[in-house]
Structure 1
């Protein structure tokens, strides 16, 4: 599977980029990739997942994790249930990315065996208990169990570091020209998203964002659409709407404040764009979340 698979942006809260949900396998999930790490835990039935150029069949009780940037897709798997966990490694302290302190967090996820079939039985059982707890806590997400989620995610990292075996040499990716290009693409997309996270609340021109990765605006536009399947303007709008949703869900601010914080230049524009994309007005969305 090539990097021409679409880049996906999971709908994560930028303040706590983690989510977990159940999927009943009724539909085909098109080839895509994202910078977030993803864990799959098969609760019922079998799940067929395409990873790179392989089609894998995960059985009930299997766990499989996907490192950042790995292309994958899911075939429809009726009568199956899988729990999905997605999180950005930015959840963890920046010191864990520093090679001066030993193996980095990115190296840990890239070098460990992805499939629980290659783990010790005890490790698999521990991981099942941990992932089940993460799902349960996330389904009842509120301020009091934010700490529980953080503790469990750090426990997951400890298991990755201490208990998961390293990949066998023969199963490691060969550093080909294509894989080098893939890493360069991920690095460029990371730069783009870092810039967006820091500047989404203000005006961003195509020229400015293109300069962050050394492209002119025309080449950047082609590059970005190839990776995401949509234009940069469409992506920026979707990103700002997701920010607005988070603010509407957690703040009792005025529409003027929320529109400004999420990067819209006027309340009128905010209302129009939000309703066009979400189907209801920002105020109605806020009421639907609060239950009032």
Structure 2
């Protein structure tokens, strides 16, 4: 069944030009797929899970910084095991309209000089290590400031997020709304069922297509087969569990949907260039 995309306006903050929150949330308070007419800059402080942005499904973890453009449907699903001792995850989020950017550029030449001529992204961005470090520091400082301090910091933040060069696209361009919604439905289904075998017949039914048409459609949209996509998602999830959990490699193997430990180790090693146990050890020592 297709998941409903919920359009909504961000809460109005009286006498404020943008929306800033420090959220502590229980993981069972699940955010549905939604969209709004604002930029959303998101810094995960505690927790990990999976994110749908546009047509793309990706894992995220603590420290990640992402930018969601206006009107892009998105959803952040935190893994229950990623909660803190109080059962909560935490993130900082600042949301602002594009009209705010345009008004600031019109009024303040200093900001206009930095932003004139840039192409504003139309797809979600995940920032690289350098930009993420800068943005994390700025958002953390904003969290300790009064409203005037936050406004001043916004003038410094806007050029950072819109002129960053060390980012990756966290959603693939796909402009046909029907295709976006269908791919989101496929991604949502994979998120819910990846720990078990997913047959082509059942995912084709979920997408409202026959098996042959689905295989052609998915390869055209994603540049890979559905089986490759599921394997990639399982490996990404395994990486997060190796980083953030104390589960044994054998347990992670079955948790992410592999039914054979030697096969899991072989596939993981071929994809990552290192075995699961060495990957965990390397991450723990960095």
- Please report the TM-score for the alignment, with normalisation by the length of structure 1: 0.48
Taking structure 2 as the reference length, the TM-score comes to 0.49
